[in-house]
Amino acid sequence: MSICVPARTEILISSPTVPTACLKATARTRISGAGKSSSPVPSTSVLLSAPSSVSIRFSGRFSGRFSGRSSGRFSGTGAIRGAVPAKTGGRRGFTLLELIAVVALLGLVMVFAAPKFEGKILQDNRDKAFRWIIHTVRDTKLAAARAGLAHILHLDVDNGAIWTSTAGMSEEALAGREESGYRLPEYLALEDVEFPGGERVSGGRADIFFSARGYADKSAIHLIDEDGNRFTLLIEPFLPRIRRFSGYISLDE
């Protein structure tokens, strides 16, 4: 069976205004629209047995019988069966229980993830402070050797301030260097600065000298964070790099 459906179909049915128990009427179907048809437009006879029931018989290339009631449901030998319900296209929203479950899950994730995230941030900031000290010591060594002039690394143990100066610098220039010096973050502090022979500076200012040839005083800078973790930065006289250790490492060890 081949079926060709036009783009628009118009069916004209004439009937009396007052329905009866058994009413016969003859109507002619007029079909117009885009598309090709394999046969002329068929004639249609309509049998109205009741106001709510309609029977339509087609004659021509496509034949079939359709019967239906006012609900719009159809059945027959054609390829189309039943009415297609309209789609709203909307989506079902979240229920209150689903929203509560999502919020509870997010809260649980934050409880376990927040401490690790905060610890990671503190560790990164602490490492930045260590890198600044290490780079400053290295650059001060190189600057002293290039200029042929002694340089000094100053460490204010009480206030966590670090700055550099050169030999023969005026008091005003020294004050400016101290004012613009580096400040350790709040969660990191200088515990002491150790020199050979067991000398330790645990308060006030400690000075580490770099000679005009680039040699440095052997020393150990001890730091401690707010959790009580200790760290040691070891300065060697002839080595350009500073060694970093976890824990309190003494020069005598």
Q: Does residue 231 have a pLDDT over 90?
A: yes
Where residue 2 falls among pLDDT bands split at 50, 70, 90? very low
The pLDDT tens digits for 127-184 are 889 999 999 999 999 999 999 999 999 999 999 999 999 998 999 999 999 999 999 9
Would you list the DSSP string of 163-189?
EEEETT--HHHHHHHHHTSEE--TTEE
Cβ-defined contacts of 119-125 (< 8 Å, 24+): 122/187, 122/225, 125/185, 125/187
So where are the chain's domains?
A: 9-76, 126-246
pTM of full prediction above 0.75: no
CATH code of domain 126-246: 3.55.40.10
pLDDT, tens digit, for every residue of 55-67?
444 444 444 444 4
Residue 36, both tokens:
């090709």
